[in-house]
Amino acid sequence: MAVYSLDELIEIFIQWEEDLTKFYKILSGHLKDDEALNVVRVLARDQDKILAAVKSINLDDAESFEYNKSLPNFRSTHLLSDVEVSDSSSALDILEKVMDYEEQLLELYRHLAEFVTYEQSRELMTMLRDMKLGQIKKIKSCMDSYT
């Protein structure tokens, strides 16, 4: 278990969201399937918006030092480390991989929303959770169209 300030958590969130942004760029350069490429482009645009929102978070001094205890060690967590995608991966394959990652992020944001004390911090976690929910709904909708 670890202890984090809210500032540290935001930095970790930014890294995770940047990892997903990089993942989409890598996919765009390697996928051969046109449908998969189109799906990745749509999700990448949405991801750019989410990343910008997370990077724009500005906490006041009191809240930036809010500490959260008994959390897993997020510093060493790389949620995309086990993802394997080939040139011939289908759109559905890609969506399933991305869905796993997004669901992990959603659970982390939900978990943290329960632990923060300040109202603004809670609102921040709720905003992040809601953005992830929106992204997951889009991914599920895309997945439904391929099954």
Are 77 and 13 contacting, i.e. CB atoms less than 8 angstroms apart?
Answer: no
Average pLDDT, stretch 127-142? 87
Give the pLDDT confidence score for residue 101 in this predicted structure: 82
d(CA 102, CA 64): 25
Please indicate whether residue 31 or residue 100 has the higher confidence score (pLDDT): 100
Q: What's the predicted TM-score (pTM) here?
A: 0.75
Please indicate whether residue 18 or residue 87 has the higher confidence score (pLDDT): 18
Are 101 and 80 contacting, i.e. CB atoms less than 8 angstroms apart?
Answer: yes
**Per-residue pLDDT tens digits for 83-114:** 666 667 777 777 888 888 888 888 878 877 77
Identity of the highest mean pLDDT range in 17-21, 55-59, 61-65, 142-146: 17-21
d(CA 14, CA 109): 12
Among candidate residues 92, 80, 108, 88, the one with its CA nearest the CA of residue 24: 80
